[in-house]
Amino acid sequence: MSLNRNNFFKDKNILIFGLGKSGLSVLDKLALISKNLIALDNNDDFNLPEEYMKLAGSSKIKFFKGNIDDLKDKLLQETNLIVVSPGISMDVPLLKEAARRKIGIWSELELAWHFMDINQRKRTIAVTGTNGKTTVTSLIGKILNDSGLDAKTCGNIGNPLIDTLLLDSYTNNANAKKAKINEDLIRVIEVSSFQLENSCLFKPHVAIILNITNDHIDRHKSMENYSKLKFKITQNQDESDFFIINNDDKFIIKYLKKIYQSIKPNLVRFTLNSKQPTEIYYENGKIIYGFSDFKGQVSIKNIGLIGHHNISNIMSAVAAAKIFDVDDESISDSVKKFIPLPHRLEHIGQINGIRCFNDSKATNPDATIKALEYFKKEVTLILGGLDKGMDFKSLIPVLNKKVCKLILIGSCKDLLFDVFSAAAHDYEIFKAVTLNEAVAKAFDVTEKGNVLLLSPSCASMDMFKDYKDRGEQFKKMVMSFKS
């Protein structure tokens, strides 16, 4: 049962740490419920959006920004609960001290869950994984909506879960929609490890783990910790729920073995290997499934999503759709009509005889490996950016099989050069100071008929605003070479 928010939050002193999109949504919801709110952002350049300025003069809301380490004792003195943005590490002094004092620390995801009733909670699908979360979340949303159901994608995809709820306090944001939300709404929630880190009661009806690969080790310290956080998505599920996992992923299977005896929900495994005894598998252009009371097959021939990893993604979406009784033909039609999202092995076009692809969303080695698997040995690869403490040696075998020219960029280009030049390789390696220089070099050294691929394996923030900015700039640079 969800908490009575007026009783639970009314007398609480709540600190909202991080005023990005999710933090502002939290502020909007709690402003008329809690008697005392502290809202802070540790960015010196942060400015409160205009529609929230009227809250700045409220006697019960205090705003802080910049370095707040010296204020932590004052800020925590009467705080009962902290709602923290996903981008803020638990290693910051304020949160470490809050944990020492046993003050509750929640993500926006967890806060929203406390506002949801039983019916709303049963109509939830949560998707996590290192790669593919946004694609699968979007695909499930399309399948459900195309079938006539009412579904909304939310969470890490950019629309906070709490914004899908209409609360009594939902009056502060000038852009808030006052229309009544359908009680039958199905929420398809993209969930990151950062959000799961500060969840405790979150219990989706359908939980999906797509994959677990080397990423975010700078924050989570080890693959064991990272895997444990991903599996938090199922920790509260019971026999009435469903847990969908990739049976081909070594880290998922490794961690599953540790906790298998404690798994309570219906386990639904999917695989690309039709010889494995799993509940869903792929064979000859069809996804064949048999679990719980569901049995059938879905044709996925002539789809827009490319690469074997996307067949795995589709299998997870099929499983989720069947749990909500979508028929096979409707699922098949939706999958075929699904338009691949930008920056994910996005085909830009053939420029001067060279096929060009933008895979800027590939921010870890596994994502780059998955992209390269689609090609023959024909690729000029632009690789590099901001390192997140990852092991790049896993790239070496696939680079030898698929890459003809390798162009390194970003703050870790020298590290990458040392890693790849030290290993046996049969491709040329270049370094470029800027992305524009890398693109120019790529058109200079790539043979006609071959492939130019941006698939960086790294974060973008050393040179760009985010992966979208990197991808858009890459596309503009590529098109500028069109003769």
How far is it, in rounded angstroms, from Cα 281 to Cα 129? 19
Residue type at position 245: I
The two structure tokens encoding residue 185: 């709404």
Tell me the pLDDT tens digit for each residue of 48-103.
Answer: 888 787 777 677 788 998 888 888 898 999 899 999 999 899 999 999 999 999 99
* Mean pLDDT in order along the chain per 10 residues (483 residues): 60 92 93 86 87 75 87 91 94 94 97 95 97 97 98 96 75 46 91 95 98 75 89 98 97 95 96 92 96 97 93 98 98 97 95 97 95 97 93 96 98 98 97 98 98 97 97 98 86
Q: Does domain 116-150+185-337 have CATH number 3.30.930.10?
A: no
Separation of alpha carbons 206 and 237, rounded Å: 9
pLDDT score at 48? 85
CATH number of 5-109: 3.40.50.720
Give the integer Cα–Cα distance in Å for 104 and 101. 9
Q: According to CATH, what is the number of the domain 346-479?
A: 3.90.190.20
Q: 384, 460 in Cβ contact below 8 A?
A: no
- The structure tokens listed for 179 are 């229309």
Phi, psi of 419 (to 5 degrees): -65, -50
Given a contact cutoff of 8 angstroms between Cβ atoms, the answer to whether 147 and 156 are in contact is no
What local confidence, expressed as pLDDT, does residue 12 receive? Answer: 86
Q: Are strands 286-291 and 280-283 parallel, antiparallel or unpaired?
A: antiparallel
- For residue 242, the surrounding DSSP H or E stretch is strand 242-246
- Residue 180: per-residue pLDDT: 60
pLDDT of residue 131: 93
pLDDT for position 97: 95
Three-state DSSP state, 288: strand
Q: Which residue ranges make up each domain of the chain?
A: 5-109, 116-150+185-337, 346-479
Which residues, listed in sequence order, are joined to residue 180 by a DSSP beta bridge? none
Distance CA 203, CA 234 (A): 7
What would the pLDDT profile of 113-161 be if each residue is shown by its tens digit? 999 999 999 999 999 999 999 999 999 999 999 999 999 999 999 999 9
Question: What does the pLDDT read at residue 275?
Answer: 86
Other CB atoms within 10 Å distance of the CB of residue 92:
16
| pLDDT of amino acid 205 | 98
The Cα–Cα gap between 160 and 157 comes to 8
How many secondary structure helices (H) and strands (E) does the chain include?
19, 20
Q: Residue 444: what residue type?
A: D
By DSSP bridging, strand 266-271 and strand 124-128 are: unpaired
Q: Which amino acid type is present at position 290?
A: G
Q: Which helix (H) or strand (E) holds 397?
A: helix 396-402
Which residue, 207, 221, 192, 227, is CA-closest to 108?
192
Task: Please say whether the dihedral angle defined by the alpha carbons of residues 151, 248, 394 and 448, taken in this order, is positive or negative.
Answer: negative
* Pair of tokens at residue 421: 């030049």
With tokens 């809301």, the residue in question is 61
Q: What angle do CA 7, 8, 13 make, to 5 degrees?
A: 115
On whether the CB atoms of residues 357 and 451 are closer than 8 A, the answer is yes
Alpha helices for 389-434 (secondary structure H):
396-402, 413-422
- Among candidate residues 382, 304, 353, the one with its CA nearest the CA of residue 138: 304
Beta-carbon contacts of 189 under 8 Å, excluding residues fewer than 6 positions away, are 109, 124, 125, 126, 127, 137, 153, 154, 155, 161, 204
> Quick one: pLDDT at residue 176?
44
